[in-house]
Amino acid sequence: MTMIRIVISGAFGKMGQLALEHIQKRDDFEVVALVDHKGRAHPFLSTYFTVDEALRKESAHVLVDFTTPEVVYENIIAAIRHGTRPVVGTTGLSMGEVETLQALAAEKKIGGVIAPNFALGAILMMRFSEIAARYYSHAEIIEGHRLTKRDKPSGTAAYTDQLMKTSSPIQTEIHSVRLPGLVAHQAVVFGGEGEILTIRHDALSRESFMPGLLLAIEQVMERDELIYGLEKLLDLSL
Ligand code: NAP
């Protein structure tokens, strides 16, 4: 069994902490260091201020990133330059940035995964919406997240919209709700003559993101391109 050596950036954030807990439960994964922009200490793991510094000092197969839209782009570039595969949950990257990163990864022949949503149910919701879009002319996407979420609309809503439009000339609008108490919710409402179809997913806790994250870490070791979207790692054919 090959041990996958992992650095986690944003390690003291909500997703970073949960990712650390779940990764540490796996016998085939090893967290070798953490990255935190405030340099917070961990009882038994080294913490570095930047991804670049961590990957200069530690040899790692995978960088897991749950930080912010402001720093994620530079973090991925640093990972690719060091030959470390990025597995990124941070949202807010533009499609232009994703394409630039894919070109850099291709040049360096390094695999990676950028997944705006690691919840398997959310991936199914997007796929079902993509199929339904072929049969409707109008749909509204209503996404809800906690008050402090920085990007609006969510990466998942923007991506659902993009997927729906690849299979249909459908007209859409995205509505963003930011309220305390929400985790990650999305409804895609299709309107037709005399009917409404609603496809809905609710992430009730951050635990819902962990199976998808662990799957991406496993699978990224077999890939030699930077993949955008967890669905590309799943069999969603009919
Ligand atoms: P969070 O709790 O705010 O964590 C973000 C982390 O990044 C914190 O440790 C924060 O430190 C750190 N940070 C803030 N500014 C930074 C900077 N300039 N440089 C480096 N680090 C910085 O947020 P979260 O809920 O864990 O979410 C993190 C990201 O994951 C967000 O983009 C969110 O949308 C995304 N997310 C994705 C999924 C998915 O399935 N793909 C699921 C949930 C969330 P301080 O707080 O100390 O500043």
CATH number, domain of 29, equals: 3.40.50.720
Please report whether residue 40 resides in a domain. yes
Regarding the beta carbon of 154 and ligand 1, being less than 6 Å apart is answered: no
Domain count, the chain: 2
Quote the pLDDT of residue 121.
95
Quote the pLDDT of residue 87.
98
Regarding the beta carbon of 146 and ligand 1, being less than 6 Å apart is answered: no
Contact between 154 and 145 under an 8 Å Cβ cutoff? The reply is: yes
Q: Ligand 1: distance of its center to the CA of 171 in Å? A: 32
On whether both 80 and 148 belong to a single domain, the answer is no
Backbone angles phi, psi at 20, to 5 degrees: -55, -50
Q: What is the pLDDT of residues 30-57, one digit of tens each?
A: 999 999 999 999 999 999 999 999 999 9
On whether both 34 and 74 belong to a single domain, the answer is yes
On whether both 70 and 110 belong to a single domain, the answer is yes
On whether both 113 and 174 belong to a single domain, the answer is no
Please report whether residue 29 resides in a domain. yes
Quote the pLDDT of residue 150.
80
Quote the pLDDT of residue 167.
82
On whether both 11 and 84 belong to a single domain, the answer is yes
Q: Ligand 1: distance of its center to the CA of 129 in Å? A: 28
Backbone angles phi, psi at 187, to 5 degrees: -120, 135
On whether both 14 and 90 belong to a single domain, the answer is yes
What element of type H or E holds 201?
strand 195-203
Please report whether residue 64 resides in a domain. yes
Flag residues of the chain having pLDDT under 50. none
Please report whether residue 144 resides in a domain. yes
Residue-range definition of the domain harbouring residue 107:
4-117+207-233
On whether both 99 and 215 belong to a single domain, the answer is yes
Please report whether residue 164 resides in a domain. yes
Please report whether residue 238 resides in a domain. no
On whether both 84 and 124 belong to a single domain, the answer is no
Please report whether residue 84 resides in a domain. yes
Q: Ligand 1: distance of its center to the CA of 178 in Å? A: 16
Quote the pLDDT of residue 122.
95
User: What are the Cα distances from residue 105, in Å, to 46, 87, 114?
Assistant: 27, 13, 12
On whether both 15 and 74 belong to a single domain, the answer is yes
Q: Please, where are the H alpha helices in 4-154? A: 14-24, 51-57, 72-81, 95-108, 120-132
Backbone angles phi, psi at 143, to 5 degrees: -115, 145
What pTM, to 2 d.p., does this model score?
0.90
Q: Residue 134 is part of a domain; what is its CATH number?
A: 3.30.360.10
On whether both 112 and 131 belong to a single domain, the answer is no
On whether both 127 and 190 belong to a single domain, the answer is yes
Contact between 169 and 183 under an 8 Å Cβ cutoff? The reply is: no
Collapsing DSSP to helix, strand or coil, 233 comes out as: helix
On whether both 136 and 113 belong to a single domain, the answer is no
Quote the pLDDT of residue 85.
98
Regarding the beta carbon of 89 and ligand 1, being less than 6 Å apart is answered: yes
